[in-house]
Amino acid sequence: MTDIHSKETRSYNMSQVKARDTKPELIVRRFLFSNKLRYRLYDKKLQGKPDIVLRKYKTIIFIHGCFWHGHENCKYSALPKTRTEFWSDKIESNKKRDKKNIDQLKSDDWNVLIVYECELRKGRQEHTLNNILSNIQNQF
């Protein structure tokens, strides 16, 4: 099966995928700020450049896209029908890198939270955000 877009259109579409300040990230950041929690963004000194770092609570939050990080049993993480091997290898390498980064952070005594974008969709968002807050507060 061939791609429905031309090579140039597909290239443009993929170039528009953001790595920072995504909608799911902004949802979590607004929620944390509204609950008087202050954080840093993308700390380069920490393994994996975490999306959100709450130093006071020794907590790190990664906000993962379901597709890019291979979220298990999620309809948003389906592999494309074209270049399946390429995408499978890419996502597996992302998962291995994530695991290595998380293991390193945990060994440095960080509390690591992972939130997938599907968990921040309507219907699940409030529950997910409250879980994040309770997890952070349970640290102290």
Give the separation between CA 124 and CA 40, rounded to whole angstroms.
25
Residue 64 β-bridge partners: 116
Give the separation between CA 112 and CA 136, rounded to whole angstroms.
10
pLDDT of residue 4: 76
- Residue 11: its H or E element: helix 7-15
DSSP letter at 22 equals -
Among 64, 55, 20, smallest CA distance to 37 is for 55
Q: What is the pLDDT along the chain (140 residues), one digit of tens a residue?
A: 566 778 788 778 777 777 777 889 999 999 999 999 999 999 999 999 999 999 999 999 999 999 889 999 998 888 888 888 998 999 999 999 999 999 999 999 999 999 999 999 999 999 999 999 999 988 76
Give the separation between CA 109 and CA 42, rounded to whole angstroms.
18
pLDDT of residue 92: 95
Give the separation between CA 32 and CA 14, rounded to whole angstroms.
30
In the three-class reduction of DSSP (H, G, I as helix; E, B as strand; rest coil), residue 115 is classed as strand
Give, rounded to a whole angstrom, the gap between the first and last alpha carbons of the chain: 54
Q: Which pair of tokens denotes residue 121? A: 């969709």
* Domains of the chain with CATH codes: 18-137 (3.40.960.10)
β-strand pairing of 59-64 with 111-116 = parallel
pLDDT of residue 2: 62
